[in-house]
Amino acid sequence: MITPKQLHKLAVRHGTPLFVVDHDEIRRNYATFKKYLPRVQAYYAVKAEPLPEIVKTLYKAGASFDVASMPEFEIVHENIQHMPPKQRQQWIWDKIIYANPIKAIEALTQLDPYKPLVTYDNPEEIKKLEKYAPNAGLALRLKVPNTGAMVELSSKFGADPGEAVDLILAADKAGFTVEGLSFHVGSQTTNFENYVQAINLAANVFKDARSRGYTKMNLLDIGGGFPAPYDKSVKSFRILAKKINTELDRLFPREIEILAEPGRFMIATAGASVVKINGKAVRDGKTCYYVDDGVYHTYSGIIFDHCHYHLKSFRKGPVRICGVFGPTCDALDVISMSENLPTDLELGEFLYSPNIGAYSHASSTWFNGFPPAKVVHINQ
């Protein structure tokens, strides 16, 4: 993993704000996922950080990809331009799932020639697919418990399990093959029982579908939510993997293909941010630092992802509770009101945040005229 000393050298060389991606760490995370979930094919959730360099590293490691928009699809597709058309089409089927249950008509018309695997969760989407993407293969997304997830997703997507077989049969009647089921237990899920409940719900839907004559399903997509180790409160991935493996082996025979959509787990620990102190003030007795990155940029996960990223100083010394603010004129641009930092830091000094690889730089804007952080890749 990249060290503070390395980060400091990179900041001196490239300037700040800086977003550093360690590809050795990405490869380690992928290897860990495969080691403890050997039956599960990882489809990296590109939205977590859609940098082409990350996609290439994971592709070489053996990953498949979960995309939710045509720009994401194109980022992945660029990696396979060397393949003959027929081989490329099979690669797309094996390596990409378009896992956005609600798709724009324009996206469907562009996707259809590739005969993609896509998710759906309602009757209207079947009608849309029938008209604009008749060559698609389908996976029905189920609504499952999201209790304890940092970001809850079940209120926006997912068919009620009681309606699932009706939706499977409706898609079948429209001429589609429903390849299987998918679900998502919520992002950064530390309540591992969510997976247990979701896998059992999916098994019941498989059973109900067979009892009503539908026997074509051969895959289960267990979604994302695999938590990154942001702090010691997050239980080991090995514990979660053991629970998942137990339920999969108990409920799903080996001929059922198992997919997953890890995003945060793959890259959270592979990204670091380095910022420079541009201003300093004492407000209500508290030292406050103003830095050149914030919540409209690399620290966007504070707003959108309900995540807290700690800032650290490159030099030792006594610390006190300090405030840290981003560069824009918006009062929302607050990185932290309670960060343990030295109070004698000077203008021009650097701070850094580890474990900020997921859902951070990916959401950066140009708000207030401030550009996104420069990206530096190491160990590619």
Q: How many CA atoms lie within 13 A of 232 on its CB side?
A: 0
Rounded to 5°, the CA angle 85-87-92 comes to 90
Nearest one of 314, 375, 343, 364 to 16, comparing CA atoms: 375
Find the length of the chain: 380
- Are 45 and 69 in contact by the 8 Å Cβ rule? The answer is no
Provide the 3-class DSSP secondary structure of residue 181: strand
Q: State the Cα–Cα distance between residues 207 and 195, nearest whole angstrom.
A: 18
Signed CA dihedral, 298, 303, 309, 313: sign only: positive
Torsion of CA 227, 51, 362, 273, to 10 degrees: 80
Strands, E assignment, 222-318: 257-260, 271-283, 286-291, 312-313
Q: Is 192 helix (H, G, I), strand (E, B) or coil?
A: coil
Residue from 288, 307, 322, 329 carrying the catalytic annotation: 329
> What is d(CA 58, CA 53) in angstroms, rounded to the nearest whole number?
9
What H or E segment, with its residue span, contains residue 119? strand 117-120
Name the 3-class secondary structure at 240. Answer: helix
**Annotation marks residue 307 as catalytic:** no
Give the Cα separation of 277 and 293 in Å (integer).
10
Q: Which residues are catalytic?
A: 329
